[in-house]
Amino acid sequence: MTTQLKAIIECLLYLAEEPLPVKRLRETIPGAETREIVSAVEELQQDYESESRGMELREVAGGYQLRSRPEFKDYIKRFRRVEPSRLSRAAMETLAIIAYKQPILKSEVERLRGVEVGGILRTLMEKGLIRVVGRKNLPGRPIIYGTTKKFLGVFELKDLSELPTLEEFTQITGETLHAYREDS
């Protein structure tokens, strides 16, 4: 189990958007005890200490996270300079869904994309491309999302009626976002 447990944990760390607390790992891996998880994480941490690794397994904000090794920061800087668009494909798709279907609930976005979008929504909020437009009168009063004025600005739209078709949208986004990053 130990080898596999380590592998599962590495896999989850790779996919996790946020530092992963041991508790969350335990919920995800049935049958694994806290003690086993902790020792697997520690082993993993040692594996990552090797010089031949590109990431470090660090304990931050109450959880574990794989982070790039700080000594590679110059490469990362250069890498991100040549990155064509600062929004991931997933973020782009999520943004498109919100733009076209707004006002929309997170649950509806997730149904359309078929994956969890919590982290992406946060990223889009941070970038000021979407905002909370209200709350739905449903149990839990879920948040309703919509795009912002900045969204219109970034995509050079007068108003939402100017939105291109979904297909055109994905074609133009790469370039516009690139330009947007340059001057932001």
Partner 1 sequence: MPPATNDASGDGSFSVRLEPFEGPLDLLLFLVRKNELDIYDIPIARVTKQYLEYIDLIRTLNLDQAGDFLAMAATLVHIKSRMLLPEPAGPEEEAEDPRQEIIQPLLEYARLKEAAALLEKRHLLDRDVFTRDFVSDELFDPEEEELVRVSLFDLLSAFKEVIAHSTGKVLLALDRFECTLEEKVSDILERLGRSRNLLFTELFTDLHRRELVVTFLAILELLKLNLIQVVQPAQGGIMRVYLVTQPSPAYGSDDNTT
Cα within 13 Å of Cα(35), Cβ side: 0
Nearer to its own copies, 50 or 137 (CB): 50
Choose the stretch contacting its own copies; rule: CB under 8 A; options: 57-65, 134-142, 162-170, 176-184. Answer: 162-170
**Alpha helix (H) residue ranges in 88-138:** 89-101, 106-113, 118-126
The rounded distance, in Å, linking the Cα atoms of 13 and 40 is 12
Nearer residue to partner 1 within complex by CB, 73 or 141: 73
Using CB under 8 A as the binding rule, whether residue 37 contacts its own copies is answered as no
**Binding partner selected for residue 7 from partner 1, its own copies, none, CB under the kind-specific 5 to 8 Å limit:** its own copies
Residue 135 interacting with its own copies (CB under 8 A): no
Per-residue binding letters, 63-92, with its own copies (x by CB under 8 A): ---x-xx--x--xx-xxxxxxxxx-xxx--
Q: CA–CA separation, 135 vs 145, rounded Å?
A: 9
Helix locations, the chain, DSSP H: 2-15, 22-28, 34-49, 73-81, 89-101, 106-113, 118-126, 149-154, 166-183
Distance CA 145, CA 11 (A): 31
3-state secondary structure (DSSP) of residue 100: helix
By CB under 8 A, tell whether 150 contacts its own copies.
yes
Closest distance to partner 1 from the beta carbon of 132 (Å): 19
Minimum CB distance to its own copies smaller for 132 or for 160:
132
Q: What are the angstrom distances between the C-alpha of 33 and each of 23, 117, 146?
A: 10, 29, 42
Q: By the criterion CB under 8 A, which residues form the site for its own copies?
A: 3-4, 6-18, 24, 27-30, 51-55, 66, 68-69, 72, 75-76, 78-86, 88-90, 93, 110, 113-116, 125-126, 128, 131-132, 150, 166-167, 170
